[in-house]
Each structure stands twice: as C-alpha cells, then as structure tokens.
Amino acid sequence: RKSPAQQLRTILIGPPGAGKGTQAPRIRDEFCVCHLATGDLLREQIAKKTELGQMAKKIIDAGELVNDEIMVNMIKDQLENNKSCKNGQVTIHPVVVFVLDGFPRTIPQAEKLDAMLETRGEKLDSVVELAIPDQLLISRITGRLIHPASGRTYHKEFQPPRKPMTDDITGEPLIQRSDDNIETLTKRLATYHKQTAPVVNYYKNKSLWVPIDAAQSPNVVWENLRKVFREGPRSS
C-alpha cells in the first residue's frame, strides 16, 4: 500500500472529457481505493452483447442517460459484491473505499446513493467537481483513444501513445468510442447541464463539494486532487 490517507469515499463529477477517467485510476493507485466507473460497466455489457448492453448502446449513442433504477442497482451490486482475484482465486467482498466516476448523474441517483451508504454506516468524504468550460471539451473528446480491455485512455494530441493507435503496455489496437463525435457530444453536454449539474448543487448543500480547475494539464489537476485527499476538503 502506498499512502492510504484516510478511508476515502469520493465522487468525481464533471462533463464528458473533464478528465474523470484520466484522474480516477490515479486516485485508485495512490489511495488504494476501488474505481467504479458506470460508463465502463455499461461498455462491458455492450461488449458482451447482453440485453442491457444492447439497450444501453442506443441510449449512450443518443447522448442520453440510462434509467436511474438500472444504474442504482448496478452500483449497489458493485459495492456489495465486488469481485477480485488473488492468487488465481476469485473472492467476493464489499467495497468500503471507492472513487465513483460517472455516478451519481441525477438527483434520484444521488439520493439513492446516500440511502445505500447510510444503511452501511458509511459517509462520503468529498465530491470533486472537475470544472471546465464546454468549448475545451470538443478537442479532448474527438481526439480521445481508448484501450478497451484496460480502459486506458490516450489523446491523439495531448497524450499520444508511443506508436499510433497502439496501446503502450499490451501493443493492442486503440479505438475511438462510438459516442465520441461532435453530434453525440453536443447532446451529452446538454444532458450534463440539465441533469447532472443539479447534482453538484445537491452536494454543495451538503458541504461536500470541492471544485478543481480541470482546464489545466493532467499533472496539475492530479496534484490539486492529491492535496484534497491528503489534506481533506476543508483545508484545500
């Protein structure tokens, strides 16, 4: 273990391209917490061609949100029955420390998460908003490259792989997400402002909100995030 500053339970909120998927793995690795990304969980279902995956693909490509009940059950299942593999043996254990990425995205999801944590006798430590103007997100999203198996993210210009369209670690091909085009992005941003921006206010009212300027370079954003988790939201 590196530096488990505290029993970290945090949420990253931000529009598409704000850097949630870039920063959350760093939080996971530095603070030894579980990274739960609902977008990645849905894309796993799409890759497996499950019924849920087929339904989710249409919604995701339309830039809309999957139904609250489905998403709440998905997170509940992850928090209660997370599977990890140690020495080749799969163990199932509840997740007690986590960074949530992409959840909650609506007020009902936030309320259900509160109820879930209360039942478990747990509380959130902070909710970090990765704040960034919409106009900076277009180039981030249209230039993004993904390694589907690991979720590793690159950017054609800002964070290019060593070899074009190839994952640095495995040498496997990189892809672009089907929702990473201007038309769908415009809808995703509209959905964010309408349905997810109110969630930021919800957490402001609970004094959990910590804003971070996400328009800076990934390393500067990371240093600021680290300070929040090492020193606690109020001293940042």
**Direct distance between the N- and C-terminal alpha carbons of the chain, in angstroms, rounded to an integer:** 24
Site for ligand AP5 contains 159 (CB under 6 A): yes
Can residue 166 be called a binding residue for ligand AP5 (CB under 6 A)?
Answer: no
* Catalytic residue numbers, as ranges: 20, 105, 144, 177, 188
Contact flags string 26-45 toward ligand AP5, x per CB under 6 A: ------------xx--x---
Please report whether residue 211 would count as binding ligand AP5 according to CB under 6 A: no
Contacts 24+ apart (CB under 8 A), 37-40: 37/100, 37/101, 37/102, 37/151, 38/71, 38/74, 38/75, 38/100, 38/101, 38/102, 38/103, 38/105, 39/101, 39/102, 40/102, 40/151
- 59 lies in the site for ligand AP5, by CB under 6 A: yes
Beta bridge partners of 92: 83
Is residue 153 part of the contact set for ligand AP5 (CB under 6 A)?
yes
The answer to whether residue 18 forms part of the interface with ligand AP5 (CB under 6 A) is yes
User: Of 72, 69, 75, 5, which Cα lies nearest the Cα of 37?
Assistant: 75
Using CB under 6 A, which residues numbered 90 to 129 contact ligand AP5? Answer: 102-103, 105, 109
Footprint on this chain of ligand AP5 (rule: CB under 6 A): 14, 16-22, 38-39, 42, 59-60, 64-66, 71, 102-103, 105, 109, 140, 143-144, 153-155, 158-159, 188, 217-218, 221
